[in-house]
Amino acid sequence: MQLHHRQALQGSRATHGTRCSGTVICTRRNSIPATRHGEQVIVRAYVEPGDIKAWHKLDCKHVVEAQQFGPEALNAIFAEAAQMEKVKPGTPEAKVLDGRVMATLFYEPSTRTRLSFESAITHLGGTVLSTESAGEYSSAAKGETLEDTIRTIENYADCIVLRHFQAGSAKRAALVSSVPIINAGDGPGQHPTQALLDVYSIKKEIGRLNNLKIGMVGDLLNGRTVHSLAYMLSMFEGVKMYFVAPKVVAMKEEIKTYLTGKGVEWEEVDDLNAMASDVDVLYMTRIQKERFDDMKQYTAARGKYIIDTKVMQQLRKDAVVLHPLPRVDEIAVEVDDDPRAAYFRQAKNGLYIRMAIVKQCLLGC
């Protein structure tokens, strides 16, 4: 009997896995195999936020949102990333994904995310099928749905790295995919692997994740990186978040409500200079022009907050500046030479985190 797979995204929890004909099948509580066209459909569970400790223990994994991960999973991923920093060409470690294929399916522009994922699997011996500007140059331009695209590409690749312009698209893809889906950014929604590399960078730069003060600056409404980062940092003790943004792009209410429910202290402030003197991490983001319908609002928001030498004079000597990149003009170029400017080191960490994620996703399946 040929076995097919369908992901269960809502109300499901992973309990255990079994192997059948070389395929990992994770059942969910109280699930009954469905029937489609006379063939058995095995339901494999998506890990809901309530099961955050389970992610790294699953065989087959999706990376959809930051709330999937708990401290135990982060420790496992970060330990793997530290090992990835040591991988050398020609060694056995550089061949662990030999024969594995990654598809990068990008409906929005990307430089760092797409290239770091493609570099990640290449460093580990795998290969890449790449589609850039998929909305224009794939069958989506002919009206094909995302679900049909995923069902097709899963036949050619062992995992799919997806960037899409709609929030929630990664969950839609995971719902129908029999191979791991890795969310590389879903519109103004989330960017979980960016949050992983951000938290990894904070741990390397600052040395701790508890009792941390972080200022998030810029486009906090549309910035998927700050959304995922806020969710992920909320699991650590003593974290305080400052939100500095023009009113038109203030942090989403749902995220502030979530943080309050988790007991996380947060504060919205207007004075970047004053806040800079009180934080361990200054996390800057660009105002996202592509998310604006009214260019007058964009013009009013852009340039309101800029990290320059004056701001750096206020920043503590042991603090760091992070930025998911690309930058436009929100960090002055003269800041780059300051040792506290960690954003290019942060980008390098993206390779190691994505090597770790791809390895953990693929070796289980």
Number of helices and strands (H, E) in the chain?
12, 14
From the list 2, 356, 5, the residue with the least C-alpha distance to 193 is 356
Contacts of 114 by beta carbon, 8 Å cutoff, 6+ apart: 104, 106, 130, 132, 161, 163, 184
CA end-to-end distance (rounded Å), the chain: 20
Q: Is 164 a catalytic residue?
A: no
Catalytic residue among 27, 104, 113, 225: 113
Catalytic residue among 56, 61, 62, 191: 191
Catalytic residue among 36, 86, 142, 317: 142
Catalytic residue among 6, 112, 289, 316: 112
Phi then psi for 305, rounded to 5 degrees? -125, 120
Q: What is the signed CA dihedral for 133, 217, 227, 267, rounded to 10 degrees?
A: -170
Q: What is the signed CA dihedral for 329, 331, 333, 337, rounded to 10 degrees?
A: -170
Longest Cα separation, the chain: 69
Residue owning tokens 């340039």: 303
Length reported for the chain: 365
Q: What is the signed CA dihedral for 202, 169, 256, 301, rounded to 10 degrees?
A: 80
CA separation (Å) from 311 to 10, 35, 170, 241? 45, 61, 37, 18
**Angle at which helices 71-84 and 192-206 pack, to 10 degrees?**
80
From the list 93, 59, 122, the residue with the least C-alpha distance to 130 is 122
Q: Is 122 a catalytic residue?
A: no
Catalytic residue among 123, 163, 171, 213: 163
Q: Is 316 a catalytic residue?
A: no
User: Are the beta carbons of 234 and 261 closer than 8 angstroms?
Assistant: no
Residue 143 identity (one-letter amino acid): G
Q: Is 286 a catalytic residue?
A: no
Q: Which of the residues are catalytic?
A: 112-113, 142, 163, 191
